[in-house]
Amino acid sequence: MCNALAAGANGYILKGVSGLTLIDALKRVHAGQPYVTPELAVRLLVGGKLLPKREAKVQAALTYRERQLLDHISKGHTNREIADRLGLTVATTKVYLTQLLKKMRVRSRLQAVIAARNQTP
């Protein structure tokens, strides 16, 4: 895949993508935009090396809200501070945090931040 992109391919998708993803990729490439699936982008860009497929799927699968939460916990914000900044209740913030930790396969906020930093270019 890296060889294809290095050789000038404008896009690359993995086998098994949905029809909608394929259509989106074709439209973007036809419009002159580069395209790779989010999972592939994470695998290509993180630390300049390919992540194991499972880790790439986790990072690509984080929702916008989970990424916001990860950003706030990386800044040391408490659940109350996060809730206030995102317009959530503390209980909802805790639910998002629990989902994030499970998805990242870590046990603590600190481990989540370390994992995210290790996987960011």
**48 vs 70 pLDDT, higher one:** 70
Burial class (CB in 10 A: 0-12, 13-18, 19+), 21: middle
Residue that terminates a domain, selected from 36, 53, 70: 53
| Side-chain-facing half-sphere of 24: CA atoms under 13 Å | 10
In terms of domains, do 33 and 49 share one? yes
Going by the DSSP 8-state scheme, the letter that residue 52 receives in this structure is P
In terms of domains, do 47 and 64 share one? no
> Over the stretch 28-66, which tens digit does the pLDDT of each residue have?
888 888 777 766 666 665 544 554 554 544 555 678 888
Is pTM beyond 0.95 here?
A: no
Beta bridge partners of 36: 12
Going by the DSSP 8-state scheme, the letter that residue 10 receives in this structure is S
Q: CATH number of the domain that 81 lies in?
A: 1.10.10.10
The average pLDDT across 73-77 equals: 89
Residue 19 and residue 25: Cα distance in Å, rounded? 10
In terms of domains, do 48 and 76 share one? no
Confidence of residue 121 (pLDDT cuts 50, 70, 90): very low
In terms of domains, do 49 and 65 share one? no
Non-local (6+) Cβ contacts of 38 within 8 A are: 60
Helix orientation angle between 64-74 and 109-118, rounded to the nearest 10 degrees:
100
In terms of domains, do 37 and 73 share one? no
pLDDT at 113: 83
Q: What domain count does the chain have?
A: 2
Question: Is pLDDT above 90 for 81?
Answer: yes
Residue that terminates a domain, selected from 32, 53, 74: 53
Q: Which range of residues forms the domain containing residue 10? A: 2-53
In terms of domains, do 11 and 35 share one? yes
